[in-house]
Amino acid sequence: MAAIALERIRKVYPNGHVAAEDLSLDIEAGELLVLVGPSGSGKSTVLRLIAGLEAPTAGRILIGGRDVTAVSPQERDLAMVFQNYALYPHKSVRENMAFGLRVRGTAPEVIAARVSQTAASLGIDGLLDRRPAQLSGGQRQRVALGRAIVREPQAFLLDEPLSNLDPLLRVGTRAELALLHRRLGATMVYVTHDQEEAMTLGTRIAVMNEGRIEQLAPPRDTFDRPATAFVARFVGSPAMNLWPGTLAGAGGRARVTTTGFEVEVETTAPAGPVQVGIRPHEVAVVEAGHGDAVAQVEVVEPLGATTTLHVAVEGLADGLARVVVPPGTAARPGDRIGMRLPSARLHLFDGNTGIRL
């Protein structure tokens, strides 16, 4: 198992698209690092750079301390699981799994033993003589994992491996992946656009946006202390409420004024334009007229364990705010409610740069 390091990577595609900009990333040996971000954020590019399928325009890539920037994918000793699995359609499951070992000249007895052992551990030993076309989506996914595991590589690269599975299977496989990571103790780099997958799987997660890493931290930290307004909006479901406002006053007793409400905050940041945010479950619903803001309930979404209210806050123009309340709520569309925004639960971001204050 090896550590992977990206040093000041820049990647510009021939069409001029900048997919990564001055990007540095240290992935520790044995860690499961999740690269998460919206499509086009450059997360898949980072994975392909590590794999050697793309060459960086500038910067260095190290695997296990060795500079592999100019090394071909064949010589990097990594394994990759593709979003569409990329199983060889003309080869049986057994041949699919054996291919990488055969190419590397492993002895046939060793290949046979490792393939059957890996297949047994994944519960696909009954499928070894089938072709990929005869397998279900979940089975193909396991074969793709098996093909990676059997190689015993330096690190695993996983490119949205669960996105082609149906939702039920996805949650089950997600847990199995977490178990697998613990059992193998392997370095894994995992790309997804699903923040929930990132939160549940990652030892650390790197939130990417427009070719940059916005925050690299354990999942809990990205949720509790998002480094930028982008991370705040991207991590967590339903997404954090963010409103533009102005910060005034100083000496630890500052006030944020928006067009809809005014709240006290504890901050040492200088006065100026800010974005103020609060997680939907931190908003306390009170009677209209009390609290910090007044809102009208527009949509009620009972989700079972909780209920999400979409509310129009008076004085705030853009869009609906989200409030998570207990399932037994009496709120109906059209009701007017008061919202208390506890100052300890507020997040403040610079109005221009989006950086946490």
Partner 1 sequence: MRRLSWPWQLAAAVTVAVMMFPVAWAVLSSFVPENRLFAPPSLDPSALVLDHYRALFDTRDFWTPVRNSLVVASLTTLVAVTLGALCAYALARLEVPGKAPVLAFVLAVSMFPQISIVSPLYLLLRSLGLLNTYPGLVLPYLTFAMPLTIWLLVGFFRQLPAQLEEAAFIDGASRWRTIREVVLPLSAPGLATTAILTFLYSWNEFLFALSFALGPERYTVPVAIALFRGQYQVPWGEILAAAVVATVPVAAIVLVAQRRIVSGLTSGAVKG
Residues that bind partner 1 (CB under 8 A): 51-53, 72-74, 76-80, 82, 84, 86-90, 99-100, 103-104, 147, 151
CB of 97 to partner 1, least distance (A): 10
Instruction: Kindly list the distances between the CA atom of residue 292 and the CA atoms of 160, 282, 295, in Å, as whole numbers in the listed order.
Output: 42, 13, 10
CB of 155 to partner 1, least distance (A): 11
Q: Which is nearer to partner 1, 104 or 220 (CB)?
A: 104
Q: Which is nearer to partner 1, 98 or 217 (CB)?
A: 98
DSSP3 helix / strand / coil % (the chain, rounded to 5): 30, 35, 40
CB of 62 to partner 1, least distance (A): 18
User: What is the spatial distance between Cα 104 and Cα 81, in angstroms, rounded to a whole number?
Assistant: 19
Q: Which residue has the tokens 């794999």?
A: 51
CB of 292 to partner 1, least distance (A): 52
Q: Which is nearer to partner 1, 151 or 204 (CB)?
A: 151
CB of 90 to partner 1, least distance (A): 5
Q: What is the Rg, in whole angstroms, of the alpha carbon atoms belonging to the chain?
A: 24
Q: What angle do CA 212, 36, 348 make, to 5 degrees?
A: 70
Q: Which is nearer to partner 1, 97 or 346 (CB)?
A: 97
User: What is the spatial distance between Cα 255 and Cα 282, in angstroms, rounded to a whole number?
Assistant: 19
Provide the residue type at 124 as one letter: I
Q: Do residues 3 and 48 lie in contact, with contact meaning Cβ atoms separated by under 8 Å?
A: no
Q: Which is nearer to partner 1, 35 or 79 (CB)?
A: 79
The DSSP code for 200 is H
CB of 210 to partner 1, least distance (A): 25
CB of 39 to partner 1, least distance (A): 17
User: What is the spatial distance between Cα 275 and Cα 32, in angstroms, rounded to a whole number?
Assistant: 32
CB of 277 to partner 1, least distance (A): 39
Provide the residue type at 169 as one letter: L
In sequence order, the β-bridge partners of residue 288 are 290
Provide the residue type at 145 as one letter: L
Burial class (CB in 10 A: 0-12, 13-18, 19+), 274: buried
Pick from 234, 226, 193, 261: nearest CA to 357: 226
Q: Which is nearer to partner 1, 166 or 287 (CB)?
A: 166
Q: Which is nearer to partner 1, 79 or 346 (CB)?
A: 79
Q: Which is nearer to partner 1, 32 or 51 (CB)?
A: 51
